[in-house]
Chains A and B, each alone.
Chain A
Amino acid sequence: MTRALRIVQRNAVVYRHVWRGSLFSSFLQPTLYLMALGLGVGSLIDARRAVVVGAPSYVQFLAPGLLAAACMQVASFESAWPIAGKILWNRNYHAILATPLRVDDLIVGELCWIAVRLTTVGTAFLIVASLFHAMSIAPATLLALAMAVLMGLAFSASILAYAATLKNGKDFNVLFRFVVTPLFMFSGVFFPIDRLAVPLQWIAQVSPLYHGVQLVRGLTLGALSLPAAAIHLTYLLLLLIAGFAAARSTFRRKLYA
Chain B
Amino acid sequence: MNGAVILPRAATIHRLMSRDTPLIVARDLTKRFKDFTAVDGVNFAVHPAESFGFLGPNGAGKTSTMRMIGCVSPVTDGVLRVFGMDPRTHASAIKARLGVVPQQDNLDNEITVRENLLMYARYFDIPREVAARRADDLLTFVQLSERANSEVEPLSGGMKRRLTIARSLINEPEVILLDEPTTGLDPQARHAIWDRLYRLKQRGATLLLTTHYMEEAEQLCDRVVIMDRARIIAEGSPRALIEQYSTREVVELRAPDDERSVIREAVSAVAERIQELPDRLQIYTADAECALEAMRAAGVHPESALVRRSTLEDVFLRLTGHALID
Contact = CB atoms under 8 A, between A and B. Distances in A.
A9 B123 CA distance: 10
A96 B92 CA distance: 12
B112 to A, nearest CB: 8
Contact of B96 (A2, A17, A90, A100): A100
Interface in B86-113: 91-93, 95-96, 98, 100, 102, 104-111
Contacts of A10: 108, 119, 122
A96 B119 CA distance: 10
A133 interface: no
Interface in A72-112: 90-92, 94-102
A99 B120 contact: yes
Contacts of B109: 90
Contact of A100 (B70, B92, B110, B115): B92
A90 B123 contact: no
A98 B102 contact: yes
Interface residues of B, number: 30
B119 A9 contact: yes
Nearest to B100: A98
A96 B120 CA distance: 8
A18 B110 contact: yes
Contacts of A3: 123
A15 to B, nearest CB: 9
B74 interface: yes
Interface in A1-22: 2-3, 6, 9-10, 13-14, 17-18
B104 A257 contact: no
A13 B119 contact: yes
A98 B96 contact: no
A101 B123 contact: yes
A91 B108 contact: no
A13 B106 contact: no
A95 B167 CA distance: 10
Contacts of A101: 92, 123
| B73, B93, B119: residue with the most chain A Cβ atoms closer than 10 Å | B119
A102 B119 contact: no
A257 B70 CA distance: 12
Contacts of A102: 91-92
Given A17-B111, A18-B110, A91-B106, A99 B123 contact: yes
A90 B179 CA distance: 17
Contacts of A17: 110-111, 151
Interface of A: 2-3, 6, 9-10, 13-14, 17-18, 90-92, 94-102, 255-257
29 contacts: A3-B123, A9-B122, A10-B108, A10-B122, A13-B111, A14-B110, A14-B111, A17-B110, A18-B110, A90-B109, A91-B102, A91-B105, A92-B106, A92-B108, A94-B72, A95-B102, A95-B106, A95-B107, A95-B120, A98-B70, A98-B95, A98-B100, A99-B96, A99-B123, A100-B95, A100-B124, A101-B92, A256-B72, A256-B74
